[in-house]
A and B are shown apart, each in its own frame.
Chain A
Amino acid sequence: MSFMPYVAPEQMMKDRSDYAHKGIARGRSVVGLEYADGLLFLAENPSATLHKISEIYDHVAFAGVGKYSEFEELRIAGIRLADLRGYSYGREDVKARDLANAYSQALSAIFTQQMKPYEVEVLVGEVDGSAGGTAVYHILFDGSVTDEQGFVAMGGHAEELTEALRERYEPDWDLATAVRTGVQALATVPEPREINDDQIEAGVLDRTRAQRRKFRRLPADEIAGYLT
Chain B
Amino acid sequence: MSDRLELPSGGTPFGASPSFVELLRRERPEAVPPLTNADTAALSVPHGTTVLGLKYADGMLMAGDRRATAGNLIADAKMKKVFAADDYSAIAIAGAAGQAIEMVKLFQLELEHYEKITGDRLSLEGKANRLAQLIRQNFPLAMQGLVVVPLFGGFDTRRSEGRIFYYDATGGRWEEDDFQTTGSGSLPAKNSLKKRWRPGLTRDEAVRVAVEALIDAADDDAATGGPDPARGIYPVVLAVTAEGAEEVAEADVAAGVAAVVEGRSR
- Chain A residues engaging chain B, CB cutoff 8 angstroms: 49, 51, 54-56, 76, 79-80, 83-84, 86-88, 213
**B45 at interface by CB-CB < 8 Å:** no
Interface string of B17-28 (1 = CB under 8 A from A): 000100110011
Residues of A within 8 Å of B20, CB to CB, are 83, 87
Residues of B within 8 Å of A84, CB to CB, are 23-24, 27-28
Considering the complex of A and B, which 3 residue pairs feature the smallest CB-CB distances, nearest first?
A: A79-B116, A76-B16, A83-B113
User: Pick the contact of B117 from A49, A79, A86, A213 — CB < 8 Å?
Assistant: A79
**How far apart sit A108 and B142, CA to CA, in the bound complex (Å)?**
47
A88 near B117 (CB under 8 angstroms)? Answer: no
**How far apart sit A87 and B112, CA to CA, in the bound complex (Å)?**
12
Residues of A within 8 Å of B16, CB to CB, are 76
Total contacts A-B at CB 8 Å? 32
**How far apart sit A83 and B117, CA to CA, in the bound complex (Å)?**
11
**How far apart sit A213 and B84, CA to CA, in the bound complex (Å)?**
14
B113 near A79 (CB under 8 angstroms)? Answer: yes
Residues of B in contact, count (CB < 8 Å): 14
Q: Given the known A-B contacts A76-B16, A80-B23, are A87 and B117 also in contact in the complex, defined by CB atoms under 8 Å?
A: no
**How far apart sit A84 and B25, CA to CA, in the bound complex (Å)?**
11
A83 near B119 (CB under 8 angstroms)? Answer: no
**How far apart sit A54 and B16, CA to CA, in the bound complex (Å)?**
16
**B103 at interface by CB-CB < 8 Å:** no
Residues of B within 8 Å of A55, CB to CB, are 116
**B31 at interface by CB-CB < 8 Å:** yes
Who on chain B is nearest to A73 by CB? B16
A88 near B31 (CB under 8 angstroms)? Answer: yes
**B70 at interface by CB-CB < 8 Å:** no
B23 near A54 (CB under 8 angstroms)? Answer: no
User: Pick the contact of B116 from A49, A56, A87, A88 — CB < 8 Å?
Assistant: A56
Residues of B within 8 Å of A88, CB to CB, are 28, 31
A54 near B116 (CB under 8 angstroms)? Answer: yes
